[in-house]
Chains A and B, each alone.
Chain A
């Protein structure tokens, strides 16, 4: 039931791009993305609804492929502030959100 995130960890140099994937075995109503910095609470980034929607937030965008039950988070021209652990949360029914195990992103100067 827990969505699968990949990769588990990624290390980038400042300015490089990254893609984080999230896949579910169940049909999805929506996908949520959050970022958590060390020692802090998760912070909401965006929600994607059914329909292959793509949304953007600064240089962070995401897509949602309802058919494949997958979502991808795209980080372009990464900045040091993007470091943290990224979680996808999937909403399949009853408005309950189940989170993946997270992708740890480290940005080096």
Chain B
């Protein structure tokens, strides 16, 4: 596939459970971003990976959130001990080396915490 792929597309889980969200960026894109979008709201920056550099984690809302990117490609966003306020659409985007490059978004994972 040519686009950014995210899985699962929907995830429903109980409060307190851990969840893992996956992002497969466009081949060759060295920059990868995670955003969170609550219903009717804007795009909240979470974390940014660029090549082999240390990620910019400044947007992660709490220590329950973590992300990793293996081999400079696939990324996993993990939320531990989920809370109801974590319910949102989690969007991943990738781009070529990020300066002045358009971001290509995946379709997102809709996370619902019961």
Contacts and interface: CB of A to CB of B under 8 A. Distances in A.
B107 A41 contact: yes
Contacts of A102: 41-43
A64 to B, nearest CB: 12
A89 B41 CA distance: 14
B107 A40 contact: yes
Contacts of A30: 99-100
Interface residues of B, number: 23
Contacts of A87: 42-43
Contacts of A34: 103
Contacts of B101: 47
B102 A47 contact: yes
B41 A101 contact: yes
Contacts, number: 58
A32 B33 CA distance: 15
Contacts of A94: 56
A67 interface: no
A29 B43 contact: no
B48 interface: yes
Nearest to B35: A99
B100 A41 contact: no
A49 to B, nearest CB: 6
Interface of A: 2, 29-30, 32, 34, 40-44, 47, 49, 87, 89, 91, 94-102
Interface of B: 31, 33, 35, 41-43, 45, 48, 50, 56, 91, 93, 98-108
